[in-house]
Homo-oligomer: A and B are copies of this chain.
Amino acid sequence: MKPISASIITIGDELLIGQTIDTNSAFIGQELNRAGIWLKRRVAVGDLRDEILQALEAESRENDILIITGGLGPTADDITKPALRDYFAAGVRVDEDALQNVHDIFSRFGRKPSEVNLKQAEVPDNCTVLPNRRGTAPGMWFEKDGVVYVSLPGVPHEMKGLITDSVLPRLKERFTLPGISHRTALTAGKGESDLAAHIADFEAALPSWIKLAYLPSYGLVRLRLTARGDDATAVETELDRQFNELKHQVREWLVADEDISLPEALHRVLKARGRTVGTAESCTGGYLARLLTEPAGASAIFLGGVVAYANDIKEHVLGVPAETLRAHGAVSEETVRAMVAGALQVLGTDYALATSGIMGPTGGTPEKPVGTIWVAVGNRERTDTLLLNYRFDRARNMELTANAALNFLRRFILNDL
C-alpha cells in the first residue's frame, strides 16, 4: 500500500528571518506520524502571494495532505486567506459560526470586536470551517483533485486544539491509514557515536522494515525504533522483541523506555518511592527547579528550592560556612556539599541537588575556566559530587549541566535502596 503522505507549509516572514522558532511543525509531525501519515516534507515560505501559490502547487503534486499554518492573523501582513482564495479561484463568504465565535471571545473579555477582528469570519466560499474556540481565526478544510488542504492559525495552542479536535479525526475518516509503530528509549550520559558503536551489531541485524534513529539532545540520546507493515500483530510482536534487546544493550544508560522527558522520568522514580526533592542552585539559576516543575503534578515530589546566585545567599539562606567559601571558593566540591546539607535542612526534603559553576562567557580563571561546574546530590546519610567540564557557550553549558545534574540525581535515588 502506498503510504498517505503529507507536507506542512508554514507561512510567515518571521519564520524566514528567524525571529520566530517554528515549534508548530514538530507538534504536527508527531501527530501525523502517530496517525500513520508520512510527513514527507516541510516547507516554510514568506508572506508573499506567489511564494505561497507556488508551494501549494508543488506540494499538492506529491502529497495527499497539505497542512498550512500561519498568516491568518488580522494584520495586513497576513495574506494566507487571499492566497488560498486565488489558488482555489474561490469567492468569499461570512461564516456565521465563526462570526459568533469572534463576538463570544471578545465578550468574554468584556470588549467589542473591531472591524478588523470581524473580518476573521470571512472565509473562501469553497471551504469547510473548522471551529476554533481558542481564537478568532477559524481553521479551514479544502479538497481539490483528491488532495486535502487544511489551513490553521499559527498561534501554537490554537493550532494544537484544531489538530487534535478536528483535523486528525477528519483525516482518519477520509483516508485509510496503514500501521506505523514506534518504540523510544531515553538514554543519558553516553554520546551518540559511542552508543552507535556499542549497538552496531544490533542495528545491522534489524529487519529492513524496522529503522533505528538517534536523537541527541544535550547529553541525552533518544533511540527510536520505527516499524511499518500491514500485519499489525506481527509488527508489534517483532518490534517489542527488538526493543527489549535494545533496552538490554543500553541498560547502563537507560533512563526510560517511553518517549518521556528526563524530568518526567525523575518524577516517576520519586513518586514510586514517595520521596521529595529540593534544589540549591547557583550557576543553573533556577533552571533545575523550572525543569522539575515542568510536569503537571510536580508538587507531589518537588517542595522548593533556593537560588543562591550571590555568596551572601549561599551563606545566610543555605548556611554554607563563610570559611568554606573563603577557603575553597563558591565553585568547589566543599561548597556544593554544604549547599546540599543546607538545602536538606532548610527545605525539609528527602533529597537535595546543588550546583555551582561558571557558565560563561566571563568569570573563568586559569584554575577554574568557564565550564567548570560542581554538582552535588545527597540525602541525610550521604552526599555524592560530580565535576563537569564543558567548553561551550553559556546557553549550551546550561542545558548540559541541567541534564547531567538531573541524571546524577536520578542515579543517586536508584542506588539509594
Contacts and interface: CB of A to CB of B under 8 A. Distances in A.
Given A30-B18, A347-B313, A43 B41 contact: yes
A210 interface: no
A296 B360 contact: yes
Contact of A17 (B39, B73, B77, B393): B39
A313 B304 CA distance: 7
Contact of A41 (B20, B45, B77, B200): B45
Contacts of A15: 25-26, 29, 42
Nearest to A312: B348
A157 interface: yes
A316 to B, nearest CB: 8
A178 interface: no
Interface string A57-79: 01000000000000001111100
A305 to B, nearest CB: 4
Interface in A198-214: 200, 203, 211-214
A214 B317 contact: no
A289 interface: yes
B285 A289 contact: yes
A292 interface: yes
Interface residues of A, number: 100
Contact of A308 (B23, B75, B292, B304): B304
A408 interface: no
- Majority secondary structure, A binding face: mixed
A193, A307, A392: residue with the most chain B Cβ atoms closer than 10 Å: A307
Number of this chain's copies in the assembly equals 2
A298 B224 CA distance: 38
B18 A26 contact: yes
Contacts of A18: 25-31, 33
Contact of A77 (B25, B30, B77, B211): B211
Interface in A320-343: none
Given A77-B214, A192-B75, A21 B21 contact: yes
A394 interface: yes
Contact of A304 (B193, B226, B310): B310
A77, A192, A224: residue with the most chain B Cβ atoms closer than 10 Å: A77
Nearest to A363: B299
Given A33-B18, A290-B286, A279 B307 contact: yes
Interface in A380-404: 392-396
6 contacts: A17-B30, A19-B259, A73-B193, A289-B289, A293-B307, A306-B317
Given A41-B43, A41-B51, 12 more contacts: A13-B213, A15-B26, A20-B26, A40-B45, A43-B43, A47-B213, A75-B214, A289-B307, A290-B290, A293-B307, A306-B317, A313-B348
Interface of A: 13-23, 25-31, 33, 39-47, 51, 55, 58, 73-77, 114, 116-117, 134, 155-157, 184, 192-193, 196-197, 200, 203, 211-217, 222, 224, 226, 259, 279, 281, 285-290, 292-294, 296-299, 302-310, 312-313, 316-317, 346-348, 360-362, 392-396
Q: Which 5 A-B pairs give the minimum distances between C-beta atoms?
A: A286-B289, A285-B293, A18-B29, A18-B30, A286-B286
